């Protein structure tokens, strides 16, 4: 699967602790139009379960951990996000599910577009059909 990648984020650390800076079209592979974050996810919840027609995103587990399932219609990969110095870049037309959220998990998501409900593909069979085209 070529349409996702893990990105190492450089830590500007010193004796006081750590700092990471994210900049559009630099270490973030697109211009950032939107940032949202997911926290307080209840035990056993699965989030996501959709693909995006055009949206590209970079996800960072700022705190805690969760598991990503990514699916391009041919292959499934499982990625554990548990490091604030690693970003998961997800391109368009990838089915994603997030599960096994730790209680303290804070997931920050950067996106290249504003929120648009019609960009979502929420049915897995529809996703498979769109992939074929
Ligand atoms: P949703 O996309 O269902 O979250 P996830 O796929 O991560 O489980 O989003 C939950 C709700 O928040 C839904 O009603 C849409 C709304 N929402 C916005 O208004 N703006 C946003 O940027 C996002 C991501 C969601």
DSSP string, 11-46: ---BTTB------BTTTBSS---EEEEEE-PPTT--
The yes-or-no answer on residue 52 being catalytic is no
Query: Phi/psi of residue 116, each to 5°?
Result: -150, 105
Q: What's the CA-to-centroid distance between 132 and ligand 1, angstroms?
A: 26
Separation of alpha carbons 30 and 23, rounded Å: 9
Write out the two tokens for 68: 């990503």
Each domain of the chain, given as residue ranges in start order, spans 4-9+23-132
Q: What is the DSSP letter of 118?
A: G
pLDDT of residue 2: 81
Catalytic residue among 39, 50, 89, 100: 50
Q: Which atom of ligand 1 is nearest to the CA of 49?
A: 6
- Chunked mean pLDDT (size 10), the chain, 133 residues: 93 95 97 98 97 98 98 96 98 98 98 98 98 90
Burial tier of 28 (Cβ tally within 10 Å: 0-12, 13-18, 19+)? buried
Write out the two tokens for 24: 């559009």
Pocket-forming residues, ligand 1, beta carbon under 6 Å? 34, 36, 38, 47-48, 50, 115
pLDDT of residue 74: 94
pTM of the model: 0.95
Separation of alpha carbons 108 and 87, rounded Å: 10
Separation of alpha carbons 127 and 131, rounded Å: 6
pLDDT of residue 88: 98
**Of 47, 61, 88, 96, best ligand 1 pocket probe by most atoms within 8 Å of the beta carbon:** 47
In this structure, the strands spanning 34-39 and 76-81 are: unpaired
Q: What's the CA-to-centroid distance between 81 and ligand 1, angstroms?
A: 20
Considering the domain 4-9+23-132 in this protein, what is its CATH number?
Answer: 2.60.120.10
């Amino acid at each position: 699967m070529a349409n996702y990648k893990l990105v190492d984020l450089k830590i500007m650390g010193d004796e006081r602790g750590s700092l990471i800076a994210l900049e559009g079209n630099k270490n973030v592979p697109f211009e950032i139009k939107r940032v949202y974050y997911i926290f307080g996810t209840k035990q056993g919840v699965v989030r996501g379960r959709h693909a995006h027609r055009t949206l590209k995103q970079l996800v960072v587990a700022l705190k805690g951990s969760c598991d990503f399932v990514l699916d391009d219609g041919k292959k499934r990969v499982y990625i554990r996000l548990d490091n604030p110095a690693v970003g998961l870049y997800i391109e368009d037309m990838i089915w994603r599910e997030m599960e096994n959220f730790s209680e303290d998990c804070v997931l920050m998501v950067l996106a290249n577009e504003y929120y648009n409900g019609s960009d979502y593909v929420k049915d897995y069979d529809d996703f498979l059909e769109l992939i074929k085209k």
